[in-house]
Amino acid sequence: MHDIAQHQIVFLDRDSLIADIRTPAFAHRWRDYPATDAGDVVARLRGAAIAITNKVPLRADAIAQLPDLKMIAVAATGTDNVDLAACRERGIAVANIRNYSLVSVPEHCFALILAVRRNLRAYAADVEAGRWERSTRFCLLDHPIGDLAGSRLGIVGYGALGRRVAQIGRAFGMEIAVASRSPVADSDVVPLPLAELLATSDVVSLHLPLNDQTRHMIGARELATMKRSTILINTARGGLVDEAALARALTDGTIAGAGFDVLSKEPPVPENPLLQLRLPNFVLTPHVAWASSGAMQTLADMLVDNLEAWVAGSPKNIV
């Protein structure tokens, strides 16, 4: 058991989690901040044994100045904001949250798929502009509407989220194809190399972590291999896709559309090419796929579970 009775827990970006956080069942002192700039990380964590961060970066230079730090609890699944190598070198445990958004992210994924496939943005804009009222027919038919049934859903990455997306896709009557580094056991799934999946799928949905191997895995060359009727969905990490290449592909009609919940830098810079798009076939939401009220409360409960397990000497969800 770790004795942290005289130490502190510091949550660097408490406002990133809208949920009740129960009091950890061990002696501690708790301090949290609504948000933390990179330049304030060291000062705020000085003397802390446990740091909690959702998206605040904890890099090697900061970690080197925090001799009391023993654990970093990431209030999310992704750990690309933490220098894991520096933590291992210093013996700092890093725990993350896993499978807390198995409902929220897949549902958001299909909200994006349906919005793009059925041209909801274009039709809603027509109604707001008064075009339906001026129509000579009972409906407007100015934008193509596609069905999901009978189409191929290509899932890149077949972890817990990818499998849940596949489950929903089956309910829509979609054929499921998967590109995964791990063997796929599901008998009704078509395992494919990535190149073939991109070339044959009607919807491509990304469910991968961001690392050196996956960064910009979808670029101009990959987009050019997709069918012109394909839509690309990304609820994982923005850096998986070359954003400039995607903006060109959407503008040129290389692919039919895209639905994204993530960008390479968040909050985004105004110059991000995807922010400049004003296209009905592109839907961008501000990294909220994970953030249903139920998912956030589950995350908060798992966060404290991770703290208590580490203090009890039985750490879990260690990265």
* Alpha carbons 200 and 151: distance in angstroms, whole number: 10
Q: Any idea what the Cα angle at residue 56 is, between residues 53 and 62, rounded to 5°?
A: 95
Catalytic residue (one of 152, 207, 237, 243): 237
CB of 38 closer than 8 Å to CB of 56? yes
Q: Any idea what the Cα angle at residue 309 is, between residues 308 and 315, rounded to 5°?
A: 145
Measure the CA dihedral 139/144/147/151, to 10°.
170
What phi and psi, each to the nearest 5 degrees, are found at residue 177?
-115, 145
Which one, of 287, 281, 296, 289, lies nearest residue 145 by Cα? 281
Query: Cα separations (Å) of 230 from 102, 250, 266, 311?
Result: 25, 11, 26, 49
Which one, of 186, 185, 218, lies nearest residue 199 by Cα? 218
* Alpha carbons 126 and 129: distance in angstroms, whole number: 5
Whether the ω angle into residue 34 lies within 30 degrees of 0, i.e. cis, is: no
Catalytic residue (one of 170, 266, 271, 308): 266
- Our answer to whether residue 107 is catalytic in this structure is no
* Alpha carbons 61 and 66: distance in angstroms, whole number: 9
- Our answer to whether residue 143 is catalytic in this structure is no
CA 51 vs. chain centroid, Å, equals 22
* Alpha carbons 316 and 161: distance in angstroms, whole number: 20
- Our answer to whether residue 237 is catalytic in this structure is yes
Structure tokens at 73: 């609890």
Three-state secondary structure call for residue 159:
coil
List residues with catalytic annotation.
237, 266, 287
